[in-house]
Structure 1
Amino acid sequence: MTTRKQSLRIAVAQTTATADARHNGSTVRRLMHEAAGAEARLVQFPEGLLSGYAKEQIQDWDDVDWPAVRDELEQIAVLAGELGIWVVLGSAHPLTPPHRPHNSLYVISDAGKVVDRYDKRFCSHTEITRFYSPGFDPVVFEVDGFRFGCAICIEINFPDLFAQYGELGVDCLLFSAYPADEVFEVKARAHASINTYWVAMALPSQTAHLMNSGVIGPDGRYLAQVDGGEGVVYADLNRPDFAMWFEKARPWRKDAVAGEIYRSRAVNDPRSIDRTCI
């Protein structure tokens, strides 16, 4: 049985994505060492980082060195096992030709194994018509008793997806993106507060002029945020600090959605039925 801890440290990276998988992989491993040195149990990276992101670094999948992507992923997994750290890494995941890749987040355990993969479910028009094949399933996994979910970029515009993770009981949603506007940040903070969980947002340094990577609390406020450029930010997911949100707000909202607390108080009153009366 997994021991349910009261606190867990995560790291969120903000770094430059390139079209060179070897360079990207080297950057990931360097930041993994940094995160492990800071005693983080999990480190999260931006959307499409390992392979390069379509529409930005990648214009044609034929230009990608897929053997290099796979080799770098294998090296990253081995290092995760050596360092004893979980890694959530954005990359395109190749399928059997002629099928287009998935836009994915690899979930790599502290044992050095790829234990799951989140494939982006809601893709943009350009992504779905030119670059990617869609995924269809949520991904939830546990680290030291904390439940994590995964989402990618434009999916921030689909509240049902974030609500689904709330129903699945996640403590923290790992949201990796390549944002196009400042409103992403507002939406991420709203989803964290409305669904009562932490949201860790990993973004590339190319979009630092819009917003920076960081960790948002269940109250919609930042716990930590990168101060521009490149770097790694750390946050302790501490349950006692947010006891009111997890122990009161979340259960109450669940009861409110179920509706019985309202139906049991319904009144049979003509002044209620007639919505034109004054």
Structure 2
Amino acid sequence: MRIALGQLESGTDVGANLAAMDRFAEAAARDGARLIAFPEYATYEKKIVDASYPEAAEPVDGPVCRALAAIARRHGLALVAGTVETSGDRDRAYNTLVAFGRGGELLASYRKIHLFDAQGYGESRFISPGPSTAPVVFALDGVRFGLMTCYDLRFPELARELADAGAEVLLVCSSWVPGEHKTGQWLALNAARAIENGVYVAAPCQAPPISVGHSLLASPMGVIEADLGLEPGVRTVEISHAALASVREQFPTPEQRRLVPPRPSVS
């Protein structure tokens, strides 16, 4: 299966961001991609999350998401992108990934649960954490995709929950804040999540200067098979069921785990 990574340079002009996604989706479709994944905050982005984010927020059935659905439908490929969604708190929004099918239907949505309150940033001042920690997985052409957002990458439990829920590809849509050691950590953590779960990790990221770039595909062996570098662009990559099966046969770690957290009982 061919999927595409769209490395954006999103700003506060929502129309310009959508136009860039439309161009990248057109190129990806021409290259045979069945899905294109865009970064966190693909539709609205600034260097610092501030009060303008709740002001820019819309519901998942609002104009911005309708435009994303139209892009998917127009080019006949599934689309995943980061949006700013309204919440019940007028002063805070949700940082939400949406996934649309080739016909523009909503396949899944995921509200980021681990907010970036680190390195002097305070995402939670203007963004609410997702109220549900349940893993979000959707299927496309026989491949199961799990959704994660940026800072989630530092919490291996979520990746493991997604893999346990059947995810074969983790889509880690990000706007990874630059800083000392940050690019190295970005590369290492994506590879680690792939290795420890026997999955592909497809991680579209915002380009500099807001983020570090280096949108990537990590194989289930942790090999970085594609790296988009620093400039905005789109790259089509290959997901192989045979490669997944081979790695999982060599390293059957899910069956060998001895430390499995107990799940709460459902009454």
Q: State the partner residue of 1:237.
A: 239
SS at match of 2:17: helix
How much has 1:15 moved relative to structure 2?
1.4
TM-score by length of 2: 0.85
Pick one of 206, 210, 215 that aligns with 2:208: 206
**Counterpart mapping for 1:91-102 below 5 A:** 91-98=83-90, 100-102=92-94
Q: Does 1:19 align with 2:21?
A: no
Task: Report the alpha carbon displacement of residue 119 of structure 1 after superposing the two structures with TM.
Answer: 0.5
Query: 1:1-278 counterparts in 2 under 5 A?
Result: 8-53=1-46, 55=48, 59-61=51-53, 64=56, 66=58, 70-98=62-90, 100-125=92-117, 126-128=122-124, 130-135=125-130, 136=132, 137-180=134-177, 181-182=182-183, 183-206=185-208, 210-249=212-251, 252-258=252-258
The Cα shift of 1:248 comes to: 3.7
Change (3 A) 1:73 1:53: farther
> SS of the counterpart of 1:244?
helix
The range that moved more, 29-38 or 91-100, is: 91-100
Maintained 8 Å contact 2:175/2:205? yes
Larger Rg over CA atoms: 1
Displacement of 1:195 after TM fit? 0.8
CA distance change for structure 1 residues 65 and 98 in 2, over 3 Å: closer, same or farther? closer
Identical counterparts, % of pairs:
25
Partner AA of 2:256 in structure 1 = A
SS of 2:237's partner is: strand
After alignment, is 201-210 or 107-116 more displaced?
201-210
Distance 1:70 1:164, change over 3 A: same
Deviations 1:88-107 (A, max 9, x none): 01111112452521101111
**C-alpha displacement at 1:166, in angstroms?**
1.6
For residues 240 and 207 of structure 1, the distance between their equivalents in structure 2, rounded to whole angstroms, comes to: 38
Shifted more, 144-153 versus 224-233: the winner is 224-233
189-198 or 44-53: bigger deviation: 44-53
Q: For 2:246, what is the secondary structure of its paired residue?
A: helix
Asked if the contact 1:93–1:102 (Cα under 8 Å) also holds between the matched residues in 2, the reply is yes
| Higher mean C-alpha deviation, range 240-249 or range 181-190 | 240-249
Q: Alignment RMSD, CA only?
A: 2.2
Q: CA deviation at 1:151?
A: 0.4
CA–CA distance in 1 between the matches of 2:250 and 2:109?
A: 32
Kindly indicate whether the alpha-carbon contact (under 8 Å) linking 1:95 and 1:102 is maintained by their aligned counterparts in 2.
Answer: yes
1:26 to partner: Cα distance: 1.0
Q: Kindly indicate whether the alpha-carbon contact (under 8 Å) linking 1:208 and 1:228 is maintained by their aligned counterparts in 2.
A: no
Distance 1:219 1:54, change over 3 A: same
- Give the 3-state SS of the residue equivalent to 2:257 in structure 1: helix
SS at match of 1:245: helix
Structure 1 position 114, deviation (Å): 1.9
Bigger share in helix: 1
**Cα deviation digits, residues 1-37 of structure 1 (max 9, x gap):** xxxxxxx100001110101111111111111111111
For 2:10, give the aligned amino acid. A
Kindly indicate whether the alpha-carbon contact (under 8 Å) linking 1:44 and 1:88 is maintained by their aligned counterparts in 2.
yes
SS of equivalent to 1:205: coil
Gaps of 5+ in 1: 1-7, 260-278
Q: Secondary structure at the match of 1:206?
A: coil
Amino acid at match of 1:134: P
The TM-score with structure 1 as length reference comes to 0.82
